[in-house]
Amino acid sequence: MEATKWMEQAEEAILHTYNRFPIVLDHGEGVYLYDTEGKKYLDFAAGIGVQALGYGNKDYNDALKTQIDKLLHTSNLYYNQPIIEAAEKLCRVSGLDRVFFTNSGTEAIEGAIKAAKKYAYDKDKTTDHEIIAMEHSFHGRSLGALAVTGNAHYREPFEPLPGIVKFAEYNHLESVASLVNEKTCAILMETIQGEGGIYPAEEEFLAGVKKLCQEHDILLILDEIQCGMGRTGTMFAWQEYGIKPDIMACAKALGCGVPVGAFVLAKHVADSSLKPGDHGTTYGGNPFAGAAVSKVLDLFEQQKILEHVKEISGYLKKRLEELKAEYPFIRARRGRGLMQGLELESAVSAGEISAKALEQGLILITAGNNVLRFLPPLIIEKEHVDEMAEVLQNVLRECRQ
C-alpha cells in the first residue's frame, strides 16, 4: 500500500491528537530510519529521546525475543525474575533504593506525586498539602501530570485539576522560596527542561532548592524522563550536579522502545509513604518490560555509552556553535550532552525548518518557543553529526535567502 493510502487510513481509524509528518516509517538500522517508500532518514530525535541504542541492536532484540518465548505477563500478584534484576540494576546506577515500574513517564510522575503526598499525610494526617512545580515545565498529559505542568495552554481545557500546585520561575531560587510554606510537601522539576525549550537547571539553583527541601522536610522530585538515561553523559542528569533527589521519575530510554517508566525512591521516602493498597498497576513491571530494562542497563555498561556521550557531545556542541556563528537568526544554543537546542528568532520558524529537514532526510523535532531540539541516539558518531550539520546548513541557507 502506498504511503498516502496508509495516512488516509490512519486518519479514519486513529483519534487525531497529533499533527503527524507526512511519512510512514517502516524500519530502522543503527541511527537511520526508512519509510515505506524506501527513503532513508538520519534520526536526530530518537523517538523523542527513547532510542538511545539506535535501531536493530542485536543483543537487545535477542533478549526480548528470548523473553517472549518464556513469559510476557503474570500481574504483580507474583514475583518475576526479569523485573527483580532490572530493579536491582536501576537502584545501583541511580544510587536510590526502591523502584516502582510503570508503563510510561506520565505514570511515573503520577506515582511520584502520590508518594510525596502520602509521605506528607503520614506525618500530619492532613490532605491539603501543596506542590511547587516550575513554569514552562512539561510532565505529561494525564490529569495529575497536567496539574504540575507549567504551561496554561495544556492545563486550561481540563481544569479544575487535582491537588494544590503553585508554579515558580525556573532557575530563580527566590521565586521558589517565596512559595514555600508549612503545607509544601514537594518541589518538582525537570533537571533539564525539555519541552520548555532545553533549559538546564543552573547549579546554584538546584543546590538552593535542595537546601530548601532539607530545611523544611520537603521532598525533591526530579523528572529525568527525557534528560536521564545517559543523555548528558552521566546516567542521570542530576548526578552531574551532585544533587540527589528524594524521588526520581524516569522513562523513555529506560526501555529503548519498550514502553516502560519508573519512579525511584530514597529509602526514607519508600519506608514512609506508599504501602500495599496505596498504588498499583496491571502491566507495570511485567517480565517483558523487565527484560528490556535489564538488557538496556547491561548494554549501557558493556558498550560504554556514558563515555561515548561525553566524547561525542563536545563535537555536537562545536558544530551547533558553528551554525550559530554563521546564521544571526540563531539566538542561542543550550543544553547538556546529547540534549541540545538551537533557539531561533521568531521570524524563522523552527517547525518549518524541521519539515524542510525531513524532506532532505533529516529527522529533527522542536521544543518550547521556536527551538530546534537535538536528541539523537546515544550511539551517534562524528560522521553522523557532520551529516546532520550539512543537511541543516542547506535548510538554514534557504532561510537566509
338-387, pLDDT tens digit by residue? 999 999 999 999 999 999 999 999 999 999 889 999 999 999 999 999 99
From CA 197, how far away is CA 368, in angstroms rounded?
4
Distance of CA 316 to the CA centre of its chain: 20
**Over 80: is that where the pLDDT of 1 sits?**
no
- Which pLDDT value is given to residue 89? 98
Domains of the chain: 3-56+304-400 (3.90.1150.10), 71-302 (3.40.640.10)
Residues 376, 201: Cα–Cα separation, whole Å: 21
Residue 164 above 60 pLDDT? yes
Angle between helices 382-400 and 305-326 (to 10 degrees): 20
Query: Are 274 and 244 within 8 A, CB to CB?
Result: no
Starting from the edge strand earliest in sequence, which strands make up the sheet with 40-43, in order? 25-29, 32-35, 40-43, 362-363
Considering the chain, what percentage of its residues have pLDDT values greater than 90?
A: 98
pLDDT of amino acid 399: 79
106 closest CA partner among 154, 140, 146, 148: 140
Q: Are 341 and 195 in contact (CB under 8 A)?
A: no
Q: Which residues partner with 222 through β-bridges?
A: 189, 248
Q: Is the pLDDT of residue 30 over 60?
A: yes
Q: Closest by alpha carbon to 55, among 24, 35, 34, 28?
A: 28
| Of residues 378, 290, 337, 291, the one with CA closest to residue 46 | 378
SS (H, E, C) the chain: CCHHHHHHHHHHHCCCCCCCCCCCEEEEEECEEEECCCCEEEECCHHHHCCCCCECCHHHHHHHHHHHHHCCCCCCCCCCHHHHHHHHHHHHHHCCCEEEEECCHHHHHHHHHHHHHHHHHHHHCCCCCEEEEEECCCCCCCHHHHHCCECHHHHHHHCCCCCEEEEECCCCHHHHHCCCCCCEEEEEEECEECCCCCEECCHHHHHHHHHHHHHHCCEEEEECCCCCCCCCCCCCHHHHHCCCCCEEEECHHHCCCCCCEEEEECHHHHCCCCCCCCCCCCCCCCHHHHHHHHHHHHHHHHCCHHHHHHHHHHHHHHHHHHHHHHCCCEEEEEEECCEEEEEECCCCCHHHHHHHHHHCCEECEEECCCEEEECCCCCCCHHHHHHHHHHHHHHHHHHHC
Average pLDDT over residues 224-235: 98
Q: Tell me the pLDDT tens digit for each residue of 204-216.
A: 999 999 999 999 9
Mean pLDDT of the chain: 97
pLDDT of residue 359: 96
Q: Is the pLDDT of residue 400 over 80?
A: no
- Looking at the predicted structure, is the pLDDT value of residue 401 above 90? no
pLDDT at 56 over 80: yes
